[in-house]
Structures are given as structure tokens and as C-alpha cells.
Amino acid sequence: MAKRDYYEVLGVARDASAAEIKKAYRRMAMKYHPDRNPDDADADAKFKEASESAEVLTDDNKRQQYDQFGHAAFDGASGGGFQGGNFSSIFEDVFGDIFSGGGGAGGRGNRAQRGSDLKYVMTMELDEAVRGAEQKIKVTTLVECMECLGSGARKGSSRSDCIQCGGSGQVSGRQGFFSFQQTCPRCRGAGKVITDPCDACSGQGRVRDTKTLSVKIPPGVDDGDQIRLGGQGEAGVNSGPAGDLYVEIKVREHPIFTREREHLYCEVPISFADAALGGELQVPTLDGRVNLKIPEETQTGKMFRIRGKGVNMGEIRGGGLGDLYCRVVVETPVKLNKRQRELLQEFDSVTDDHHSPRRTSWFDGVRKFIDSITE
């Protein structure tokens, strides 16, 4: 017998959201659950069909495959149809603690829990990132209460068993045809309660505080890199381990240099005369000035490489020492006086195509193009 379309089974549109699919499944599960329909094979089949449909349609990857290939997406080599369907998992996901029994005896609240990780954005200059630096930062976070050492109970007292659940962290009950266990609302699954809370932390075991940390930035870090400081995040719950602090590097834009991994780039303006006749000028690096020789007949956009004046990446990503690339830009003279104009006009009058090979080849290409479209 051919399987029905999963969307049709649940009675939802093909563009239905995950929440709408879960709502439709919840409605059908309540109607056809075996506990409510004992000895009803038809109800049992409909319950399994709805569970199989929901299992696929609430999983983004499975749903994408189903939308593209239909039921064939889950047909095994033996033609066994739906593979890997876990009816209980989707049922527990939709119905939560009511039917799944919560976290078992003692509840999750009684276990030590790791503290949350934190992120701190550190802004620094390019030269600091290249050379490395050490900076102090202030981080406001939850730290272990020093008064009760994280227990939440006043010094000299301790937690006692919850009278509502007897220390199990779970309470039982019934809802219609269903019997269920759920997290104890009084102790929230911890199994124990604090009858005499610590004054410093109000029984939480943690207090908010600002701590100062010294962060050592290794040479060569780049924009977006992260440095992990283990155990410097939020304090854990019930004496659990602290989370980590991730320091994210944000490098300010530099007025002269741009960076690509281990290499630095800059633009160097040169005069018309230097470009034509050649010369020597000083260019900046992060370590000071160096001399750059400009050969005669240099064209704008020419890239010059100065070895070893980039970024040392050895400690960060196993790379070597980068280079500095200088792109020269020929600057057109401005605010010319009368004599300067006369000299340029005289120069232009004695200049022919032999002196401007790029211009000549460009105009030749334009002529050929125009001729090709007018023939």
C-alpha cells in the first residue's frame, strides 16, 4: 500500500512552519495515542503514521530531502521504506516533561552545571596586532559567592530534601488517560531546597562582579581572531566548572596600510617627473621609513615589493614573515602657473606616439572595434 503524503497526514500546508507541524501532530497524537485507544489497530496505525510524518517534517534536513525526492528519499536498498524514524523522540519533543518523565530521579537541577561562555570585543591598533600587546580588560560576570562558596546556603547550614518530591526532583500525576512524571515545581528538579539562604547571594550561589583580567595578545593576530581564556566565563551552578571567556580582536582601520594575512599594502603617490625619469623616495613601514627606488618610465599602478616588512605569522598560523606591497599612483599636477603650463604644452608638442605605447595600443584597439561593427 502506497504511503500517504506526510503533509496530508498531518493536514498542514507544504510551507507550514515547524510550530504548525508540531501543533498538528500534538492534536493527532492526543486523538490516536494507544493509551486512549486500547485494542484499536486502526488508531495505532494512524498514530504511527502521524509520528513518522512529524519525525521527518520537524527535521530540517529530512524535510528538505522529502520535499525534493518524496518517500524515495528514505527508501533503503532493501526497499524498507522510512529509515531511522524515532517515534518516541518526536513525541517527547512535542509533549515535553508531561509524558517523558523529565530528567529522572534527582532531576537535572541537582547536577553541577558548567557556567556560560562569554565574549569580549577588544579594539586595537594595527601595529599592536602586528607586534603583539598586553592589555587589561574589565569583565562583568557571575562569579562564585565567596560567602557560601557557591552552595547558596547560609554559612553553617546546608540544603535539605524537598518535602514535595521527597528529594527525587520529580512528582507524579495523571492527565486523562495518561499517567506522567514531571519536574518538581518547588525545587525545580534539584531534589533539595535552601531553607536558610545566603545573605550575600540570596541563595543563588553566584553574585555579579566586575573583574580585571590581563590579556596577552600574541604577535600577528588579525581582525576577527579570538583568544580563549579558560575558566574566565560565568561561574558554574552547583559548584560546576566556570565557562570560558573569548576575546575577539577588532583591528581599527589604518590611515596608510591595509592588511591581507601576512602582507601589508599601501599606495604611494609619485610625481609625473619621478615616474618618467625615475628617482628614489622614502616610504613608511611599521618599523620606520625605507628607501624605494622608482625606475624610469614607471606607470601608475605599478606594484613594488619590499620583503620582510609585513606581518610575522609564525606564532599564529605557522606562516612566515610577510612583505609590504607599495602601489605607486602617478599624481597629476594641479594649480599650474603660466610658466608650468607653457612647459607642459611645449613637452606635449614634441611628444609622439612612440612615447605613449599604452595610449597608442588602446586607440588602435578602439579603431579595430569600431571598424568591426561598421563593416
For residue 266, say whether it is annotated as part of any ligand binding site.
no
User: Is 234 found in the same domain as 136?
Assistant: yes
Where a domain ends, among 207, 234, 251? 251
pLDDT tens sequence across 275-323:
888 888 889 898 889 999 999 888 889 999 999 998 888 666 666 788 9
Flag whether 113 is in a domain. no
Number of domains in the chain: 4
pTM of the model: 0.57
Flag whether 272 is in a domain. yes
Where a domain ends, among 251, 283, 304? 251
User: Is 242 found in the same domain as 138?
Assistant: yes
Structural domain for 351, as ranges: 338-374
pLDDT tens sequence across 26-67:
888 888 877 777 778 888 888 888 888 888 898 888 888 888
Q: Is the pLDDT of residue 22 over 60?
A: yes
For residue 201, say whether it is annotated as part of any ligand binding site.
yes
User: Is 302 found in the same domain as 207?
Assistant: no
For residue 198, say whether it is annotated as part of any ligand binding site.
yes
User: Is 321 found in the same domain as 364?
Assistant: no
For residue 165, say whether it is annotated as part of any ligand binding site.
yes
Number of other residues whose CB lies within 10 A of the CB of residue 184:
23
Domain harbouring 324, CATH code:
2.60.260.20
Residue 305 has φ and ψ, to the nearest 5°, of -110, 125
User: Is 346 found in the same domain as 316?
Assistant: no
Where a domain ends, among 251, 268, 295? 251
For residue 326, say whether it is annotated as part of any ligand binding site.
no
Flag whether 108 is in a domain. no
The answer to whether 219 and 252 have CB atoms below 8 angstroms apart is: no
pLDDT range class, residue 265, cuts 50, 70, 90 = very high
pLDDT score, position 272: 85
Q: Residue 367 to residues 128, 362, 373, 375: CA-CA distances in angstroms? A: 54, 9, 10, 12
Flag whether 110 is in a domain. no
Residue 296 has φ and ψ, to the nearest 5°, of -65, 155
User: Is 126 found in the same domain as 30?
Assistant: no
- What does the block give as the cell for 370? 569600431
Flag whether 103 is in a domain. no
User: Is 86 found in the same domain as 47?
Assistant: yes
User: Is 294 found in the same domain as 190?
Assistant: no
What average pLDDT does range 205-229 have in this prediction? 90
Q: Residue 91 to residues 53, 96, 190, 350: CA-CA distances in angstroms? A: 12, 8, 25, 90
For residue 145, say whether it is annotated as part of any ligand binding site.
yes
Q: Is the pLDDT of residue 339 over 90?
A: yes
User: Is 318 found in the same domain as 268?
Assistant: yes
Flag whether 101 is in a domain. no
> By CB neighbour count within 10 A (0-12 exposed, 13-18 middle, 19+ buried), where does 238 fall?
middle
Flag whether 263 is in a domain. yes
Domain harbouring 77, CATH code:
1.10.287.110
Flag whether 102 is in a domain. no
Q: Is residue 94 helix, strand or coil?
A: helix
User: Is 326 found in the same domain as 345?
Assistant: no
User: Is 242 found in the same domain as 126?
Assistant: yes
User: Is 219 found in the same domain as 272?
Assistant: no
Rounded Cα distance between 191 and 248, Å, is: 40
Please, which residues have CB within 8 angstroms of residue 206's CB and are 6 or more apart in sequence?
A: 142, 143, 144, 145, 150, 234, 235, 237
